């Protein structure tokens, strides 16, 4: 059990290596290995989730820790020896996201059974992306984190540019430039962070007794979090570093005005890839903000809290309005997700425990719902051969099951109680109203606009007279039931009994909020 995170990261790699040895013609074998390579780690991380210690002791401790030293750099920053590690471990914020990666990757690999071109390399890249996503959320070391973040960039680039739609090369290059730039900015931030902490720790070591006071410099995240409570990185340094991280996050998470790469990427990607990007990859940016912004740079967050809230509200409204005018389902989902991530930014800006809990809920909920939306929209497009909302109509008649699940996903995204979106939205608004009542009131307009764009699109797609060129279509196959049933079940489970997520998140959210004075 202790090595569960390592296994989750290694198994997809091993599966990918195995696939490389297979003949490109053995597509069934490749698919089976690919699916297992995603499924087995998922079983592990779900087991880890169930066994997660959510008692008071587990709230702040790193669970399932694993670390191995990779290399040492002597005299780093002209100070002590620096140990670079591969280190993993999860807390109440990263544990749910790790499970999210498992679920989304498994279902995406299942969905990718429909991919017929270059099956072998498709699964190799899918599995590498899965590995990268696990690594990003499970990393407990700055270097490890960055290493896996870069790997996701490469694998998703290939997934978009090889199996995407008409303008896939354009979309993939755009994706790469934006996120690559974000990575460089993020790297600057991480190096600056390590340096600032090293300097302060060095200076403080005479007066403050640091826990496990190592005689070397460490990039371990829990170590830095522990230090952050004891040493005082100067406010000016925190502010600058926070701005650097914020810039990276804004690009990475496609916040207005750095967002145009996301709709293009979604519009030009295969459904399985879209599920991975929308369901898991697009949660990294805000995770970075919570992990490095809120936990390591509390004063920076406090200083820029209002800015976060304003940027959040801008994205909420901008995304929602553009979604109303979107003519393609995939672009609509992309803008909807921009709008929802604006809510999370607003909640993090609130610096309240309940807001942060709501933020993590929203990351998980929107991951599941975005994956479900992409899946159902993709399933209908497999049959009608179009994503254009205006070309659809009356799908309920020929595809009652797929249309029904699509409606469930849409209503879930609108924030209907009984599904995960509601309690996420409610919690994060309770947090944000505490700190920013007026801005939050403006933000609630997003709730009305979400109903508007999603139900308007549903009205044109599934209601009304049949408009599509193809009129006789087979409804969902047995294979397609699996992702739909799993995702709907999870969304409803969280909606009906939110403590299934809450008891993991709650303690850590409280601890983070305590660190930023919420």
Partner 1 sequence: MIGMTWLVPVLPLAAYIILLASGRRMSEAAVAGISVAAVFVSFLLSIGVAANVAAHGPAAPTVYPWLQFGSGTVTVGYQVTSLNALMLLVVSLVSALVLLFSRSYMRGDDRFSRFYQYLNLFVFSMLGLVVSPNLLQFYIFWELVGVCSYLLVGFWYFKPEAAAAAKKAFIVTRIGDVGLFIGIILLYLARGTFDFTALFGGASAPAGVMAHATAPLAYAGAKFFSLWYIPFAGWHAGAFVTLVALLVFVGAVGKSAQFPLHVWLPDAMEGPTPVSALIHAATMVAAGVYLVARMFPLFEASATASQTVAVIGGFTAILAASIGLTQRDIKRVIAYSTVSQLGYMMLAMGVGAYVSGMFHLVTHAFFKALLFLAAGSVIHALDTQDLFEMGGLRKYLPITHATFLAGALALSGIPPFAGFWSKDDILTAAFTSGHYVLYAMGLIAAFFTAAYIFRVYFLTFSGAYKGDRHPHEGGPAMTVPLIVLGVLATVGGFINTPFDPMLASFLQDQGPIGYNPPANWTLMAVSALVGLCGIWLAYTLYRTEEGRAERFAQRTGVLYTLSFNKFYVDELYGLIIVAPVRKIAEVLQFVDRWIIDGLVRLAGEIGYTGGVGVKYSSTGQVQTYGLVTVFGLAVMVLVVIGIGGVI
Kindly identify the residues of this chain, within the stretch 55-114, that bind partner 1 according to CB under 8 A. Answer: 73, 75-79, 82, 84
471 touches partner 1 by CB under 8 A: no
Tokens 């790297």 found at: 187
Contact 24, 119 (CB under 8 A): yes
Q: Tell me the window of 38-46, 117-125, 226-234, 453-461 that interacts with partner 1 (CB under 8 A).
A: 453-461
Question: For residue 477, is it left (φ>0), alpha (ψ between -120 and 50) or beta?
Answer: beta
390 touches partner 1 by CB under 8 A: no
Which residues from 486-505 bind partner 1, rule CB under 8 A?
Answer: 497-499, 502-503
Q: How far is the CB of 420 from partner 1 (least distance, A)?
A: 12
172 touches partner 1 by CB under 8 A: yes
Give the C-alpha separation, 415 to 343, whole Å: 12
Based on CB atoms, which residue is closest to partner 1, 64 or 429? 429
Q: How far is the CB of 257 from partner 1 (least distance, A)?
A: 5
List the one residue from 53, 113, 456, 493 that touches partner 1 (CB under 8 A): 456
Give the C-alpha separation, 223 to 284, whole Å: 21
CB within 8 Å of 467: residues ≥ 6 apart: 391, 392, 393, 394
CB within 8 Å of 189: residues ≥ 6 apart: 241, 244, 245, 248, 292
Q: 220 has which bridge partners?
A: 141
160 touches partner 1 by CB under 8 A: no
Give the C-alpha separation, 369 to 90, whole Å: 23
Q: How far is the CB of 436 from partner 1 (least distance, A)?
A: 9
Tokens 């303008």 found at: 167
Give the C-alpha separation, 21 to 518, whole Å: 53
Based on CB atoms, which residue is closest to partner 1, 94 or 424? 424
Which residues from 330-359 bind partner 1, rule CB under 8 A?
Answer: 352-354, 357
List the one residue from 52, 125, 318, 329 that touches partner 1 (CB under 8 A): 318
Tokens 């544990």 found at: 95
Contact 435, 351 (CB under 8 A): yes
Contact 364, 97 (CB under 8 A): yes
184 touches partner 1 by CB under 8 A: yes
List the one residue from 434, 473, 475, 493 that touches partner 1 (CB under 8 A): 434
Based on CB atoms, which residue is closest to partner 1, 2 or 184? 184
Based on CB atoms, which residue is closest to partner 1, 33 or 359? 359
Based on CB atoms, which residue is closest to partner 1, 154 or 473? 154
The CB density around residue 215, as the number of other CB atoms within 10 Å, is: 6
Based on CB atoms, which residue is closest to partner 1, 279 or 358? 358
Tokens of 188: 């600057």
Q: Considering CB under 8 A, how many residues would be counted as binding partner 1?
A: 80
E strands, 256-355, in order: none
Tokens 């209002």 found at: 306
- Mask of contacts with partner 1, 242-281, x by CB under 8 A? ---------------x--x---------------------
Based on CB atoms, which residue is closest to partner 1, 204 or 445? 445
CB within 8 Å of 245: residues ≥ 6 apart: 186, 189, 288, 289, 292, 293, 297, 300
Which residues from 137-156 bind partner 1, rule CB under 8 A?
Answer: 143, 146, 150, 153-154
322 touches partner 1 by CB under 8 A: yes
Q: How far is the CB of 193 from partner 1 (least distance, A)?
A: 11
Q: How far is the CB of 501 from partner 1 (least distance, A)?
A: 9
How many residues are listed for the chain in this entry?
518
Which residues from 217-236 bind partner 1, rule CB under 8 A?
Answer: none
Which residues from 23-42 bind partner 1, rule CB under 8 A?
Answer: none
């Amino acid at each position: 059990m202790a090595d569960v995170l390592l296994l989750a990261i290694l198994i997809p790699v091993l599966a990918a290596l195995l696939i490389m040895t297979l003949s490109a013609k053995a597509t069934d074998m490749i698919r089976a290995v690919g699916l297992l390579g995603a499924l087995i780690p998922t079983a592990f991380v779900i087991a880890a989730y169930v066994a997660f210690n959510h008692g008071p002791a587990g709230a702040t401790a790193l669970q399932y820790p694993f670390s191995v030293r990779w290399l040492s750099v002597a005299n780093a920053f002209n100070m002590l020896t620096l140990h670079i590690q591969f280190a993993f471990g999860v807390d109440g914020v990263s544990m749910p996201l790790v499970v999210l990666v498992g679920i989304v990757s498994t279902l995406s690999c299942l969905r990718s059974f429909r991919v017929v071109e270059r099956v072998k390399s498709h699964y190799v890249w899918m599995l590498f992306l899965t590995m990268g996503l696990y690594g990003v959320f499970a990393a407990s070391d700055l270097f490890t984190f960055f290493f896996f973040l870069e790997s996701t960039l490469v694998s998703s680039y290939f997934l978009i540019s090889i199996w995407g739609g008409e303008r896939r090369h354009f979309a993939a290059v755009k994706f790469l430039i934006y996120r690559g730039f974000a990575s460089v900015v993020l790297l600057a931030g991480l190096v600056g962070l390590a340096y600032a902490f090293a300097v302060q720790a060095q200076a403080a070591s005479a007066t403050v007794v640091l826990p496990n006071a190592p005689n070397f410099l460490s990039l371990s995240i829990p170590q830095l979090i522990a230090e952050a409570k004891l040493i005082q990185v100067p406010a000016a340094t925190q502010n600058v570093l926070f701005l650097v991280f914020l810039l990276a996050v804004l690009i990475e998470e496609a916040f207005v005005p750095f967002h145009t790469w996301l709709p293009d990427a979604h519009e030009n990607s295969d459904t399985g890839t879209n599920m991975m990007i929308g369901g898991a990859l697009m949660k990294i940016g805000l995770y970075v903000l919570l992990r490095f912004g809120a936990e390591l740079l509390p004063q920076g967050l406090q200083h820029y809290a209002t800015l976060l809230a304003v940027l959040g509200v801008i994205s909420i409204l901008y995304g929602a309005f553009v979604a109303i005018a979107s003519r393609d389902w995939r672009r609509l989902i992309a803008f909807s997700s921009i709008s929802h991530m604006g809510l999370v930014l607003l909640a993090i800006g609130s610096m309240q425990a309940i807001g942060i809990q709501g933020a993590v809920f929203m990351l998980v909920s929107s991951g599941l719902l975005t994956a479900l939306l992409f899946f159902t929209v993709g399933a209908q497009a497999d049959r009608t051969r179009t994503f254009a909302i205006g070309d659809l109509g009356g799908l309920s008649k020929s595809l009652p099951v797929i249309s029904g699940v699509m409606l469930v996903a849409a209503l879930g995204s609108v924030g209907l109680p009984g599904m995960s979106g509601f309690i996420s939205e409610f919690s994060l608004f309770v947090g944000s109203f505490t700190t920013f009542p007026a801005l939050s009131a403006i933000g609630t307009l997003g709730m009305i606009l979400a109903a508007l764009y999603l139900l308007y699109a549903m009205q044109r797609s599934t209601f009304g007279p049949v408009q599509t060129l193809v009129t006789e279509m087979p409804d969902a196959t047995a294979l397609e039931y699996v992702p739909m049933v799993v995702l709907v079940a999870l969304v409803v489970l969280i909606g009906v009994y939110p403590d299934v997520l809450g008891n993991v998140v709650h303690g850590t959210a409280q601890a983070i909020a305590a660190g930023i004075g919420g």
